[in-house]
């Protein structure tokens, strides 16, 4: 593994031994241009590559671990979460026939690398795998009570003085009727 340019993750194919290889390293989120409008990534992105090589075929299991910090969707407080992402793919280090190249374009789990090339940039693949696992919402804690809809008090800090408004269901039905007429 050599990181040629500005944190890019570049696999040196010649450096992968026949059989089982385990490669672990960490990169900064900024280094691999991993960014999101809703989350920050305060610690390095940890990447484990398990590579099984049989001649010109390399079976890769990549697992990516990172921490993210965002805003709790209920109370807007700080929420932190650990995320794990996986990407499994096959590298064929060989001359490909036009048919194989065509098939490869449809199958994103197979990468064909020309024998004249000895490096494969995995940055985009690792980044995509991580992006796919970003959560839709995060919580400061699993039982976050959120904010009072009336006064905005953070209910995790204690009860507010608001009285819950109760609507008689019969009145609600009547209100709907009025709207429709
Ligand atoms: Zn919260
Ligand atoms: Zn309130």
Distance CA 141, CA 147 (A): 14
- Ligand 1 center–CA 143 separation, angstroms: 8
Residue 80: nearest ligand to its CA? Answer: 1
Is 169 found in the same domain as 99?
no
139, part of any domain: yes
Helix, strand counts (H, E) of the chain: 3, 7
* DSSP per-residue letters across 23-35: EEEEE-TTTTT--
> SS3 breakdown of the chain: % helix, strand, coil, rounded to 5?
20, 35, 45
Predicted confidence at residue 4, as pLDDT, reads: 46
Q: Which of the pair, 40 or 1, is modelled with greater confidence? A: 40
pLDDT beyond 80 at 7 = no
Is 160 found in the same domain as 94?
no
53, part of any domain: yes
51, part of any domain: yes
pLDDT beyond 60 at 181 = no
Is 165 found in the same domain as 80?
no
pLDDT beyond 80 at 137 = yes
- Ligand 2 center–CA 173 separation, angstroms: 26
- Ligand 2 center–CA 145 separation, angstroms: 12
Distance CA 126, CA 61 (A): 11
Is 169 found in the same domain as 136?
no
pLDDT beyond 60 at 75 = yes
In which domain, by residue range, is 112 found?
10-144
Predicted confidence at residue 166, as pLDDT, reads: 59
3, part of any domain: no
Lowest mean pLDDT among 5-9, 14-18, 54-58, 177-181: 177-181
- Ligand 2 center–CA 163 separation, angstroms: 8
- Ligand 1 center–CA 146 separation, angstroms: 6
- Ligand 2 center–CA 147 separation, angstroms: 8
Residue 152: nearest ligand to its CA? Answer: 2
4, part of any domain: no
2, part of any domain: no
Instruction: Classify residue 175 by its DSSP letter.
Output: H
Interval 93-128: pLDDT, tens = 988 888 877 877 778 888 989 889 999 999 999 999
Lowest mean pLDDT among 120-129, 133-142, 155-164: 155-164
- Ligand 1 center–CA 166 separation, angstroms: 25
- Ligand 2 center–CA 158 separation, angstroms: 10
pLDDT beyond 50 at 12 = yes
The two structure tokens encoding residue 4: 């040629």
């Amino acid at each position: 593994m050599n990181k040629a340019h500005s944190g890019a993750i570049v696999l040196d194919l010649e450096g992968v031994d026949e059989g089982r290889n385990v490669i672990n390293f960490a990169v900064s989120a900024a280094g691999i241009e991993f960014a999101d409008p809703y989350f920050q990534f305060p610690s390095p992105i940890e990447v484990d590559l398990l590579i099984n090589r049989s001649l010109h075929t390399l079976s890769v299991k990549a697992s990516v671990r990172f921490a993210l910090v965002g805003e709790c969707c209920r109370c807007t407080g700080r929420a932190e979460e650990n995320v794990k992402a996986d990407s499994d793919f096959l590298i064929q280090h060989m001359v490909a026939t036009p048919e194989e190249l065509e098939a490869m374009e449809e199958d994103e789990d197979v990468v064909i690398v020309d024998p004249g090339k000895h490096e494969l940039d995995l940055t985009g693949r690792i980044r995509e795998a991580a992006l796919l696992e970003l959560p839709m919402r995060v919580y400061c804690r699993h039982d976050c009570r959120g904010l009072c809809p009336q006064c905005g008090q953070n209910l995790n800090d204690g009860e507010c003085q608001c009285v819950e408004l109760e609507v008689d269901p019969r009145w609600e039905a009547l209100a709907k009727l009025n709207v429709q007429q």
